[in-house]
Amino acid sequence: MNLSMLLDMAADAFGERPAVSCGARTLTYGELRLKAHAVAAQLKGGGFAHAALLDTNGLAAPATLFGSAYAGVPYVPLNYRLTDAELNALLSRIAPAWLVTRPEQLARLALPGGITPGDGDQLPAGGADTPVPQAPEDPRAVAIQLFTSGTTGAPKAAVLRHENVMSYILGTVEFGSAGAEERALVSVPPYHIAGISAVLSSTYSGRHIVLLPSFDAEEWLRIAADQRITHAFLVPTMLVRIIESLEAAKAAASLPALRAIAYGGGKMPASVIARALQLLPSVDFTNAYGLTETSATICLLTPEDHRNAIASAEPAVRRRLGSVGRPLPTVELEVRGESGRVLGAGEPGLVFVRGGQVAGEYRGSGSLLDAQGWFATQDRGWLDADGYLYLEGRADDVIVRGGENISPGEVEETLLAHAAVADAVVVAIPSEQWGEAVGAAVVLRPGAQVTAEVLQQWVRERLRSSRVPERVLFRGELPYNEMGKVLRRVVRAEFA
């Protein structure tokens, strides 16, 4: 089993169809396979242990992803936003490696030993004389290694094996199911699991991928209109910016081809998705919840779930806009208490998952799955009576106030419901009396004015008194990473 099989099948069945475009350049599935064969030949000739990519979205990303699979070498896309020192440290960990990148990236790096650079824009096209690689079939071989953005210490290297990635794609995508007119706009970076799974899913379904090198809302809207984009994946901050652009233009969105937007990679406020549904009524919205360690999506809130929620007067159905949906048919999910007991509907605890796509493994620390194959996501959440999962945040972010567990998400939602509040994040702050207490950093809407006392009273009226922020900081903006995740450790430091 090898993920290059996805490209082989696509190239055999519809080799003349466009596979991937970036700017003015396009490769058909047949051409992408030839290019991947050429990459594999280079990798095999060089005796490399890894194939790294340090680049924005471009044709080099899918070519290196599939080329490394053909060669049986793990693919390691790197975050180009890291500092030079951070990148050099990661490169030292994967030597000997071939580094597919660009001259301007090389100029800033002092490459450690064992790293051989290659220009991503100059990858060979491959042709009739390119040797056809015999892809190794070991399902346990490592397909992809992704460095996670560790909050403390050195980044961990999450390992995805061919069997994990293939389990996800074969379990969720029907081969060749995309119509010839379907085009997916990919604006998540290639080092993110969503950027990788977008390429793999689109290849297997036969959907033409259009790559956006770096996200900008205006550019996204322009390309979506010009290229008649039908499908897209967005992280919450990207969707927020697109909505703001649409609202600022005060014109009906001229995106007649757009059918489906999937979103994930961070918490999406229910108010944002409600606005999106209003602005783009003909678009199907899907919430995809997943982790790097689970080879992408494990839960889906379907377009039908979205429409039912927005149309319902019943609070239990309506609140599902804030849920991440139900597990995939190929994934089992449980919520467990501190003691390990499986909890019932409405009881918050830790989210565990099991299934073929769940890798749950880091380089050097081995498998983190328990004896029965379950993986602790480190996310807290609860299931409703119909099996919809509601996330409350990372287990590490829970505030323990005098023995009582407080999840920041609940307090944040309440603050966000205040008319003056544009954004809010809640973190644990040190408290002599309680050990930890609630701290809130708040961004007000333009022109809005409100005091800390008013917000504290607002929370007190809606939640238990233990949830009331002991301190409220007002900020011009909150710190986010490029994938739209709020950096809680930075906020915590501001309270110290």
Q: Which residues bind another protein (CB under 8 A)?
A: 1, 5, 8-9, 12-13, 137, 139, 163, 170, 172-177, 184, 194, 197-198, 201, 205, 231, 233, 260, 262, 264, 284, 286, 288, 296-297, 300, 302-303, 328-329
- CB of residue 267 to another protein, shortest distance in Å: 17
444: which strand partners?
421
Question: Hey, how many other C-beta atoms are within 10 angstroms of the C-beta on 437?
Answer: 22
Question: Reduced to 3 states, what is the DSSP secondary structure of residue 410?
Answer: helix
Cα of 395 vs its chain's centroid, Å: 19
| Identity of the residue, 71 or 262, whose beta carbon is nearer to another protein in the bound complex | 262
CA distance 120 to 56: 10
Identity at 45, one-letter amino acid code: G
Alpha helices in 337-476 (DSSP H): 408-416, 452-462
Instruction: In angstroms, give the least distance from the CB of 129 to another protein.
Output: 24
CB nearer to another protein: pick between 320 and 467? 320
Distance CA 58, CA 65 (A): 12
Cβ closer to another protein: 237 or 407?
A: 237
**Minimum distance, C-beta of residue 1 to another protein, in the bound complex (Å):** 4
Cβ contacts of residue 294 below 8 Å, gap of 6+?
A: 331, 353, 355, 357, 358, 359, 360, 375, 377
Of the candidates 49, 61, 145, 167, which has an alpha carbon nearest to the alpha carbon of residue 97? 49
Select 139 or 373, whichever has its Cβ closest to another protein. Answer: 139
Q: Residue 333 has which token pair? A: 């999910």
Instruction: Give min distance, CB of 13 to another protein, in A.
Output: 5
- How far apart CA 340 and CA 337 sit, in angstroms, is 5
Kindly state the smallest distance separating residue 371's Cβ from another protein, in Å. Answer: 20
Contact 79, 189 (CB under 8 A): yes
| Tokens, residue 406 | 């407080």
426, exposed or middle or buried, with CB in 10 Å at 0-12, 13-18, 19+? buried
Amino acid at 481: N
Does residue 230 sit in helix, strand or coil? coil
Q: How far is the CB of 366 from another protein (least distance, A)?
A: 22
Interacting residues of 362 by C-beta distance below 8 A, sequence separation 6+: 156, 157, 158, 159, 368
The helix (H) or strand (E) run that includes residue 437 is: strand 435-444
- Name the residue among 60, 85, 64, 82 with its Cα closest to residue 73: 64
Which parts of 164-204 are beta strand (E)? Answer: 183-186
State both tokens at 178: 């995309």
**Closer of 137 and 347 to another protein (Cβ):** 137
In whole angstroms, what separates CA 237 from the centre of its chain? 12
Q: Nearest 10 degrees: CA dihedral of 372, 375, 376, 382?
A: -90
Report the residue number, 97 or 296, with the smaller CB distance to another protein: 296
**Residue 96, preceding peptide bond in cis (omega within 30° of 0):** yes
| Three-class secondary structure of residue 333 per DSSP | strand
Q: Which H/E stretch holds residue 395?
A: none
Q: Which residues lie across from 430 on neighbouring strands?
A: 436
| CA–CA distance, 265 with 483 (Å, rounded to integer) | 7
CB of 297 to another protein, least distance (A): 4
